[in-house]
């Protein structure tokens, strides 16, 4: 199955990110129809169903239409800079083990082919705060990080400082949004069940991630 919804990457851009999504549809088959419907003007490079079957919809060299409006690391047109992976999931259910195993195998190849570092694997919610929430609070980011396929912060706690939290979040890659939305967005990925105001754990985790991002940039 191939989607007609794609085009060339703009301005000579190449994949430097992988954006993970969930379909928020009842079945993988309905999601596949939507991703291949020219009237919907939406697509992704890959769709993975709950059983672990991977369907390639758009060639990696091309620009799929999965990310929409948003930015990461201070730059827009995420579609031209990324590879999009859709996971068949209704948004409320746990992700199946076979699906996660297939995602890990797929990600490993993508990161190797395009020399994308682990911090380049992001959530749709990361680059579109307030507009998107996928792959949601049930997605196991720590599992990916343990295999070098994404990042996960070290446990810790530090002084609560809203300005430093915002600066570190921006350094990691998050867009410039209001404080409440920024906190919700960071927690959605790294502390999905946390509640209440900004606290020392939030500040410590984003400081750790920002520090790693800075080290990675220095190494390259």
Nearest to 127 by CA among 138, 116, 137, 135: 135
Q: Which residues of 165-198 are buried (b: 16+ CB within 10 A; e: fewer)?
A: bbebbbbbbbbebeeeebbbbbbbbbbeeeeeeb
Q: How many CB atoms lie within 10 A of CB 125?
A: 25
Nearest to 36 by CA among 44, 25, 24: 44
- Per-residue pLDDT tens listing for the chain (220 residues): 699 999 999 999 999 999 999 999 999 999 999 999 999 999 999 999 999 999 999 999 999 999 999 999 999 999 999 999 999 999 999 999 999 999 999 999 999 999 999 999 999 999 999 999 999 999 999 999 999 999 999 999 999 999 999 999 999 999 999 999 999 999 999 999 999 999 999 999 999 999 988 766 655 5
* Domain chopping of the chain, boundaries: 6-146, 162-219
Task: For residue 84, give the 3-state DSSP assignment.
Answer: strand
pTM, entire model: 0.96
Q: Is 86 a catalytic residue?
A: yes
Residue 214 has what pLDDT? Answer: 73
Residue 109 has what pLDDT? Answer: 98
Nearest to 67 by CA among 57, 77, 59: 77
Residue 213 has what pLDDT? Answer: 81
Q: Which residues of 55-81 are buried (b: 16+ CB within 10 A; e: fewer)?
A: bebbeeeebbbbbeebbbbeeebbbbb
Residues contacting 68, CB < 8 A, separation 6+: 79, 128, 131, 132
Residue-wise pLDDT tens digits, 45-72: 999 999 999 999 999 999 999 999 999 9
Residue 220 has what pLDDT? Answer: 56
Task: For residue 172, give the 3-state DSSP assignment.
Answer: helix
Q: Exactly one of 16, 71, 86, 119 is catalytic; which is it?
A: 86
Which class is domain 6-146? alpha beta
Q: Residue 22 and residue 13: Cα distance in Å, rounded? A: 25
Residues linked to residue 55 through DSSP beta bridges, in sequence order? 47
């Amino acid at each position: 199955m191939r989607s007609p919804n794609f085009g060339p990457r703009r301005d000579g851009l190449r994949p430097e990110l992988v954006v993970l999504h969930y379909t928020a549809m009842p079945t993988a088959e309905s999601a596949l129809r939507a991703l291949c419907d020219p009237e919907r003007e939406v697509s992704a490079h890959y769709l993975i169903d709950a059983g672990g079957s991977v369907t390639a919809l758009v060639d990696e060299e091309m620009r799929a239409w999965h990310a929409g409006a948003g930015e990461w690391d201070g730059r827009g047109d995420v579609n031209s800079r990324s590879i999009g992976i859709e996971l068949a999931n209704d948004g409320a259910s746990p992700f199946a083990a076979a699906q996660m195993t297939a995602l890990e195998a797929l990600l490993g190849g993508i990161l190797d082919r395009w020399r994308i570092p682990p911090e380049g694997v992001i959530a749709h919610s990361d680059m579109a705060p307030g507009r998107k929430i996928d792959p949601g609070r049930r997605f196991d980011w720590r599992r990916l990080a343990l295999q070098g396929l994404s990042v996960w912060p070290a446990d810790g706690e530090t002084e609560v400082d809203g300005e430093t939290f915002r600066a570190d979040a921006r350094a990691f890659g998050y867009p410039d949004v209001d404080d409440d939305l920024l906190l919700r967005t960071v927690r959605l990925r790294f502390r999905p069940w946390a509640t209440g105001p900004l606290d020392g754990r939030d500040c410590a985790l984003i400081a750790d991630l920002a520090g790693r991002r800075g080290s990675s940039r220095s190494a390259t």
